Amino acid sequence: MNDQDDEIVREFLEESRENLDQLDRDLVALESRSTDPELLAQVFRTFHTIKGTCGFLGYRHLEGITHAGENLLSALRDGSLHLDAASTTSLLRLVDAVRSVLATVEATGTDGDDDHAALIADLERHLHPEATVADEPAAAPAVESAAKVAPAEATVRIDVAVLDKLLDLVGELVVTRAQIGALDDEEEDTPLSAPYRRLRLLTDELSDGVMAARLQPIATITGKLGRVVRDLAADLGKRVRVEIEGTDLGVDKTVNEALRDPLLHLVRNAVDHGIELPDTRVQAGKPAEGLVRIRAHRAAGRIHLELSDDGRGIDTDRLVARAIATGVLSDADAAALSPQEARQLVFRAGLSTKDGVTKVSGRGVGMDVVQAALHQIGGSIAIDSAPGQGTVTRISVPLTLAVVPTLVVRCAGVRYVLPQLDVVEILRLEDDGSGAPVALRDRCLPLVHLADVLRLPAAQGRSGRSVAVVRAHGGRIGVILDAVEDTAETIVKPLPAALRPIAAYAGVTILGDGQPALVLDAAGVAASADVAVDASPLRDSDDAPAPPALLVVRDAAGRGLAIPLAAVRRIEQVPAGVVDRTSGVAAVPHLGGALPLFDLSGVGSGEVAQVVVCDSSIGPVGLLVHRVEDLVASVGLDDLTTRTIDVEDLVAAGPGVPS
């Protein structure tokens, strides 16, 4: 077989696998919408495509079974036969058979010796009652399907490596753009200005386009779940209907892959532990058929998945009893738990409410593993349940793992990148870091200097004043740095082979100015540091409410101040000379009156400043600042070198606030 044939076969295998996944989804959907002509036609077309290619490539056995399937489908499509559970099962068995033959083709280059006579007989059995429709209709649909398949040509298969390469190049383009931008005079138009503005727009669009091309419909994962539920329910003697919404949502391939196992686990749990046997359901006044619903939507740059069932819910009493029995909880602690807290016990290792171990969901490896897997990709999971009515599990994950929010830090003159996911908070040291542990909110925080971890020569100085408190090994440790310079959205790339054994690094990246930088691995840094981490449990888990978003502003001396965003109403530009400082009170004209002002800017009265208008107990007040810099929403930046301002404190202390 020559290269070209190889290529054709490989494409056939890949395309067929996708088609089979689609068939899994469609057949399960078809069971509940068996008369939907569109769906039936689609299933028929998919089979027909596979069959056609098999014939072309000379895979006779494969052609034989797909042909039998096509006959059955054509009878279903023209209405002479009605799809029921038995024929769906036969068709799903066919899908499995085709899948296994494809594996044989991939391994051996032939479609094997098995002629699948039993399966073909099984498929034909459904046709026998109406023996007249056996072969005839196959010809006519062929023409129609050929016409309908045509639009599929609009898609092209692309190797992910090609997309990654494009992403690299876009990153370089952004850097080059910034370099050109530095040449462009902001104040007045030069011949460069117009093309530069255009370049800016084009690079942004190109960058968005390449990112979008990396997305994959979430259906590649959720679609498989329908089949899982169906097979599992059949095994357990349960009746379960699946509803899947939001299947065309685009998700980064890496996120999609990271979601596969957790979702599979949750779905199995729902069918195995959640949905009751039909009799039990009827006794409880519920329909005999249970419902598992998977909904996906996108909001605020994240994917939100909701998996709900109308089963028996989580038995919190049993969970608590189990927790006491295994020593996880004391009786007193258990009594003090709220129902919500009790439900959170499912995330503790080794606690399972199911007394008998089933082959389906297995033993104790459970929700704690799911939670850990999701945390690893920056996701979160929350569970809600009403006894007897069902369970709702909500998952939220980032759209992409390719872009990670990070802090750019400096150590001995070199910049490193620290993923924000690992950072709990940033502290400022009052004296030089001697390496001695410091007390942080009544707890002892072990400290280590990054320069020591990286074994940098002592001559390069230990000027560290900033401490990044990072999560590591179930506890936390403070890493002393020279400075935290910036936050950045970073594309993390794998380490080059020579650096892979170094535990302190997680990857490499390219900074905004084109310089490569090493991405630090918090756990690896802590491990190389050889100090005990503070292992007391973190109170600020992902399930805690997010810290309030802050508006970061600077005064003329460059000092940072953070204003809680909740209090901020709007930001105004104040032209020079408008600030009225008469009678010792700074004020700007505001809705016909004067806005009380608190001057935090440190600028002279002749300079331009910005006013952040905030709500307070005495009505709107203005905070005069030198410039508004950034919005920070994420972990721990509230403790930064930046001072957080309480508007009420200002109002209470502020001199001469006009009534």
Two structure tokens written together for 206: 């190109």
Query: What are the two backbone dihedrals, phi and then psi, of residue 224, each rounded to the nearest 5 degrees?
Result: -70, -25
The smaller minimum CB distance to other proteins, of residues 501 and 575, is found at 501
Tokens 């390469």 identify what position? 165
Site for other proteins in 477-496 (CB under 8 A): 493, 496
Shortest distance in whole angstroms from residue 434 CB to other proteins: 21
For position 456 contacting other proteins by CB under 8 A, the verdict is yes
The smaller minimum CB distance to other proteins, of residues 474 and 514, is found at 514
Shortest distance in whole angstroms from residue 448 CB to other proteins: 14
The smaller minimum CB distance to other proteins, of residues 504 and 609, is found at 504
**Beta-carbon contacts of residue 213 (< 8 Å; ≥ 6 apart):** 158, 163, 166
Strand partners, 507: 519
CA distance 98 to 20: 8
Site for other proteins in 395-414 (CB under 8 A): 414
Strand partners, 491: 403
Residue type, 659: S
Secondary structure (3-state) at 403: strand
Quick check: 489 and 405 in contact, CB under 8 A? yes
For position 421 contacting other proteins by CB under 8 A, the verdict is no
For position 461 contacting other proteins by CB under 8 A, the verdict is no
Strands 483-491 and 403-411: antiparallel
Shortest distance in whole angstroms from residue 238 CB to other proteins: 48
CA distance 577 to 495: 55
CA distance 561 to 567: 14
- Which stretch in 5-13, 132-140, 373-381, 448-456 sits in contact with other proteins by CB under 8 A? 448-456
For position 454 contacting other proteins by CB under 8 A, the verdict is yes
Shortest distance in whole angstroms from residue 214 CB to other proteins: 15
Shortest distance in whole angstroms from residue 172 CB to other proteins: 4
The smaller minimum CB distance to other proteins, of residues 501 and 537, is found at 501
Question: Within 13 Å and on the Cβ side, how many CA atoms surround 264?
Answer: 16
CA distance 267 to 232: 10
Comparing C-alpha atoms, which of 188, 67, 204 is closest to residue 138?
A: 67
Shortest distance in whole angstroms from residue 7 CB to other proteins: 21
CA distance 447 to 580: 49
Q: Which of 128, 157, 441, 455 binds other proteins (CB under 8 A)?
A: 455
Strand partners, 277: none
Two structure tokens written together for 476: 């936390």
Treating both helix axes as pointing N-terminal to C-terminal, what angle do 367-376 and 253-269 enclose, rounded to 10 degrees?
Answer: 170
Binding mask 216-235 for other proteins (x = CB under 8 A): --------------------
The smaller minimum CB distance to other proteins, of residues 457 and 584, is found at 457
Q: Which of 121, 152, 499, 535 binds other proteins (CB under 8 A)?
A: 499
Whole-number Cα distances in Å, 272 to 277, 307, 316, 357, 365: 10, 14, 17, 11, 15
The smaller minimum CB distance to other proteins, of residues 347 and 505, is found at 505
For position 452 contacting other proteins by CB under 8 A, the verdict is no
Site for other proteins in 502-531 (CB under 8 A): 502, 504-505, 508-510, 514-518
Shortest distance in whole angstroms from residue 51 CB to other proteins: 38
- Which stretch in 450-458, 540-548, 557-565, 583-591 sits in contact with other proteins by CB under 8 A? 450-458
CA distance 292 to 303: 19
The smaller minimum CB distance to other proteins, of residues 20 and 518, is found at 518
Shortest distance in whole angstroms from residue 498 CB to other proteins: 5
The smaller minimum CB distance to other proteins, of residues 41 and 414, is found at 414
The smaller minimum CB distance to other proteins, of residues 369 and 456, is found at 456
Shortest distance in whole angstroms from residue 17 CB to other proteins: 25
Q: Which of 150, 154, 212, 497 binds other proteins (CB under 8 A)?
A: 497
Comparing C-alpha atoms, which of 574, 584, 566, 567 is closest to residue 625?
A: 574
- Which stretch in 36-44, 88-96, 497-505, 544-552 sits in contact with other proteins by CB under 8 A? 497-505
Tokens 């016409």 identify what position? 147
Comparing C-alpha atoms, which of 298, 289, 292 is closest to residue 247?
A: 298
For position 320 contacting other proteins by CB under 8 A, the verdict is no
For position 501 contacting other proteins by CB under 8 A, the verdict is yes
CA distance 180 to 194: 12
Query: What are the two backbone dihedrals, phi and then psi, of residue 112, each rounded to the nearest 5 degrees?
Result: 80, -175
The smaller minimum CB distance to other proteins, of residues 161 and 183, is found at 161
494 DSSP assignment: P
CA distance 633 to 595: 28
Shortest distance in whole angstroms from residue 455 CB to other proteins: 6
Comparing C-alpha atoms, which of 539, 564, 528, 300 is closest to residue 425?
A: 539
Quick check: 304 and 296 in contact, CB under 8 A? yes
Binding mask 150-179 for other proteins (x = CB under 8 A): ------------------xx-xx-------
The smaller minimum CB distance to other proteins, of residues 319 and 454, is found at 454
Binding-site size for other proteins (CB under 8 A) equals: 25
Q: Can you give the three-state secondary structure of 268-309, one letter per residue?
A: HHHHHHHCCCHHHHHHCCCCCCEEEEEEEEEECCEEEEEEEE
The smaller minimum CB distance to other proteins, of residues 233 and 409, is found at 409
The smaller minimum CB distance to other proteins, of residues 191 and 501, is found at 501
Residues of the shown chain interacting with other proteins in the complex, contacts defined by CB under 8 A: 168-169, 171-172, 414, 454-456, 493, 496-499, 501-502, 504-505, 508-510, 514-518
